[in-house]
């Protein structure tokens, strides 16, 4: 790169920052504190700014770029579809839409034939809730406090974290505590106790709310933003049994955990559970074009054979998104990407994070599966006091400064690279984590 070119690309980075500061309103942000991180291009697990500075992406952006950046077959499929037909009304029949729905449904359990496409995960949640209420004739939706379901009306109120509180405008939402042994709400000391007591807690909340008033229990199969909280054995099956006992539908939110993130097509494939509705987005096409959806069990779909479903979106089943789904799922299948995610989690990521925890007392717990992991950082291992926000800010800045894009949430570093990450890239990232945890907290 010549000095002239270097100057030009540096100018492009600064132009991007200037335009962003002047005109872009960012989500979940105080607008007076803009980010300086510019991303201009990407490939596989890496991204670059205009001047060529490289970052290893261990965030998968928002835990959605499962197939990696700029997968050539997915890019080509979008290009070919754009040349054929860029958009069409959702009321029409379109081959790309049918092919995408067929591939999505093929990964679900038997008895799920229909797919309703949305623009993303949040409106997938909205429509799953709508279907559950319409089908059951009931109103209430139960979800956990440690959860994130999206930033639209019912989705944000279903969410359990702080973002719900300034947005509580939707009706009929009830929250309960799910299992989280490291910070147990139930004074549990073993996974078995945590499972039993969490289910007893849920049973009592259902009884107190009135079972006949509850349309659905909505839970992330593995709560992601809340901390990659792997449910203890038997918990999801226990939730299913409680739902069946009271005629309540079970909605599993697979928006973040689905399509390869756990090394399975769906996270619930590791658990003895069959939901009634499955929401998805993110990994189904790695976010190349905005898309999400609901996979609908046959009995719920049949509810609307003669009754009009009171929901719809202008871009439901958008052709560009559909083409990207077909190409992404075909590539993931033919290239063994889901299986690779499982294997690299077991052989590389899990052991490396365990070794990091042995070297750094600031790591209170490591947990995860596939390419879906979290390091929980603490000020004191004995008390499990979370590492303060200021210290987490220093950790995040130090990681970025060393060329690694992290996913940092509260007192955790989520280790969530694309499913195509290699052993060498895992080792590279672990060396950066190691260095930062050794120096940034002094």
113 three-class SS: strand
pLDDT digits (tens, 9 = 90+) for 132-168: 999 999 999 999 999 999 999 999 999 999 999 999 9
pLDDT digits (tens, 9 = 90+) for 240-252: 999 999 999 999 9
Band (pLDDT 50/70/90 cuts) for residue 9 is confident
Tell me the mean pLDDT in the region 284-291: 98
8 Å CB contact between 126 and 157: no
Reply yes or no on whether the pLDDT at 85 is more than 70.
yes
What is the rounded average pLDDT for all residues in the chain? 96
**pLDDT number for residue 306:** 96
Reply yes or no on whether the pLDDT at 7 is more than 80.
no
Give the pairing type, strands 46-48 and 41-43.
antiparallel
Q: 97 vs 127, 131, 317, 318, CA distance in Å? A: 18, 21, 6, 8
Reply yes or no on whether the pLDDT at 290 is more than 80.
yes
Q: What percent of the chain has pLDDT over 70?
A: 98
148 three-class SS: coil
Band (pLDDT 50/70/90 cuts) for residue 35 is confident
Q: What percent of the chain has pLDDT over 90?
A: 96
Reply yes or no on whether the pLDDT at 20 is more than 70.
yes
Band (pLDDT 50/70/90 cuts) for residue 12 is very high
Tell me the mean pLDDT in the region 300-325: 97
Q: Which residues of 426-439 are buried (b: 16+ CB within 10 A; e: fewer)?
A: bebbbebbeebbee
**pLDDT number for residue 424:** 98
Span of 3-12, 202-211, 432-441 with lowest mean pLDDT? 3-12
Tell me the mean pLDDT in the region 270-282: 97
8 Å CB contact between 174 and 201: no
Tell me the mean pLDDT in the region 276-281: 98
Domains of the chain by start residue, with CATH: 37-70+336-439 (3.90.1150.10), 72-334 (3.40.640.10)
Reply yes or no on whether the pLDDT at 221 is more than 60.
yes
Tell me the mean pLDDT in the region 8-28: 91
Reply yes or no on whether the pLDDT at 406 is more than 90.
yes
């Amino acid at each position: 790169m010549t000095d002239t070119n270097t100057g030009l690309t540096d100018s492009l980075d600064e132009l991007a920052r200037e335009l962003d500061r002047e005109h872009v309103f960012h989500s979940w942000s105080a607008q007076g504190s803009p980010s300086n991180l510019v991303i201009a291009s990407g490939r596989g697990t890496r991204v670059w700014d205009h001047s060529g500075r490289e970052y290893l992406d261990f965030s998968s952006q928002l835990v959605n770029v499962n197939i990696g950046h700029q997968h050539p077959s997915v890019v080509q499929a979008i290009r070919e579809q754009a040349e054929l037909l860029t958009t069409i009304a959702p009321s029409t029949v379109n081959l790309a839409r049918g092919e995408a729905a067929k591939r999505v449904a093929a990964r679900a359990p038997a008895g799920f034939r229909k797919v309703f496409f949305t623009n993303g995960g949040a409106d997938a949640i909205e429509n799953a809730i709508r279907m559950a209420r319409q089908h059951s004739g009931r109103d209430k939706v139960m979800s956990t406090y440690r959860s994130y379901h999206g930033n639209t009306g019912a989705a944000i109120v279903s969410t359990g974290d702080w973002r719900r509180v300034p947005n509580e405008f939707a009706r009929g939402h009830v929250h309960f505590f799910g299992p989280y042994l490291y910070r147990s709400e139930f004074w549990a000391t073993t996974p078995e106790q945590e499972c039993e007591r969490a289910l007893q807690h849920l049973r009592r909340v259902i009884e107190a709310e009135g079972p006949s008033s509850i349309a659905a229990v909505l839970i992330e199969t593995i709560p992601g933003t809340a901390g990659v909280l792997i449910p203890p054995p038997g918990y999801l099956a226990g939730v299913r049994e409680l739902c069946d006992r009271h005629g309540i539908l079970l909605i599993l939110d697979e928006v973040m955990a689905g399509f390869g993130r756990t090394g399975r097509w769906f996270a619930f494939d590791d658990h003895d559970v069959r939901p009634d509705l499955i929401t998805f987005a993110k990994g189904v096409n790695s976010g190349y074009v905005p898309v999400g959806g609901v996979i609908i069990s046959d009995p719920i779909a049949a509810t609307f054979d003669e009754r009009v479903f009171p929901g719809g979106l202008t871009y439901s089943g958008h052709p560009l998104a559909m083409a990207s789904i077909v190409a992404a799922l075909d590539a993931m299948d033919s290239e063994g990407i889901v299986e690779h995610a499982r294997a690299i989690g077991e052989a590389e990521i899990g052991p490396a994070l365990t070794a990091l925890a042995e070297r750094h007392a600031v790591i209170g717990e490591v947990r995860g599966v596939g390419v879906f992991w979290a390091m929980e950082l603490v000020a004191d291992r004995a008390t499990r006091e979370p590492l303060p926000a200021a210290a987490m800010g220093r950790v995040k800045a130090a990681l970025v400064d060393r060329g690694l894009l992290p996913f940092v949430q509260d007192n955790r570093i989520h280790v969530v690279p694309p499913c195509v990450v290699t052993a060498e890239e895992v080792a590279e990232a672990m060396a950066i984590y190691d260095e930062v945890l050794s120096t940034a907290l002094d």
